[in-house]
Amino acid sequence: MTLAIRDIMARWSMEPYDEDAGTGFVRHAVVRVGHESGEVLVTVVTNGDEFPASKAFCRELAKRVPEITTIVQNVNTRQTNVILGEKERVLYGPGFILDRLCGLSFRISSQSFYQVNASQTEVLYDEAVRLAGLTGTETVIDAYCGTGTIGLVAASRGAARVIGVDAVEAAIHDARGNARHNGIENAEFVAADATQFMEELAASGKRPRPLVLLMDPPRAGSTPAFLAAACALAPERIVYISCNPATQARDVRQLTESGYVVRAIRPVDMFPHTDHVESIVMLEKKSVSAPAAKAERRGDGGRFDRASSAATETAPWAVSQSEDCPSESECPAAPAEGELQQKEVR
């Protein structure tokens, strides 16, 4: 597919972008493929609004690669190494693709965060929702929710209510569409800064009870202000998903210093043949009753996972160190407020 794009670029004299000089037209070509549907979305990132011969480009590309169902032009004229700009237009097809995950159907657009390894994503989300210990009474806040994937899975598997929050309006638009498409009525999605949302909810005195927080921030991790707001809301459980155990360990340390205890740690191999993993950490408030704590550590068939619980509660690196973060002095600093960027497309 990338070879076809390269050949068509040469045929129509579409110059590749030179980042140092700031010249050229095509900056990137981003390809997204539906794991089950096989639908393909191509996003052509350009250094300018005008796209000469765009119809001919799309016609030839779709002819060469019949799996392509939609092509989008994204405009990025900034002097930056950030891939996507804010302005875009649909050149061919509906502007999104559909795929199935955890028994649900999801709409994926060019700026929507969606895990690349769909098979392991199901493993990741299944385990995260299991650790959340949903009993049918909890309100779940899905922070950094993207297109609402994990929040909608939680809504379909025991959450009484789900509130998804993300600063990217395009992602929230997709999340709302995904909820409608799947007939899920107990989930709502808010386009807002996650920290500000948490702070305002904590200040309102209208904290839902019982409350579970799901959070899946970018590689930079969360921020001290968000974590402080989360602790002010005092959810009974926090399920923290991360693609960067180093920043996760840094953030978990702040949560444990604010009255939470690590109950489970689950690495998931999302990136085979690399040294990277996704990591799930489940934390509980220290005041949570024993029956509630027991619910989080149940295995299949109600078996109590005592060995796992003991291992995680006594592992010091769980809250202060990781292989990528050997000491507190070397651990990455938390991003400042306002600097937390949208999840990168992986």
Which residues carry out catalysis?
A: 243
How many Cβ atoms are within 10 Å of 134's Cβ, its own excluded?
21
Start-to-end CA span in the chain (Å): 18
| Look-up of token digits 């549907």 | 37
Structure tokens at 3: 């070879």
Q: How far apart are CA 54 and CA 325, in angstroms?
A: 47
Beta strands in 4-160 (DSSP E): 26-33, 40-46, 68-75, 87-92, 97-101, 104-108, 139-143
Tell which phi-psi region holds residue 273, choosing left (phi > 0), alpha (psi between -120 and 50) or beta: left
SS3 252: helix
| Backbone phi and psi for residue 8, each to the nearest 5 degrees, phi listed first | -70, -35
| Look-up of token digits 């037209």 | 25
Integer-rounded Cα Rg, in Å, for the chain is 21
Residue 137 identity (one-letter amino acid): T
How many Cβ atoms are within 10 Å of 117's Cβ, its own excluded?
17
Contact 146, 168 (CB under 8 A): yes
Taking alpha carbons only, the member of 265, 207, 247, 250 closest to residue 231 is: 207
| Look-up of token digits 């991790």 | 221
Structure tokens at 290: 């024993």
- What is the DSSP secondary structure assignment for residue 322, as one 8-state letter? B
What angle separates helix 224-233 from helix 245-257, to the nearest 10 degrees? Answer: 50
Contact 70, 79 (CB under 8 A): no
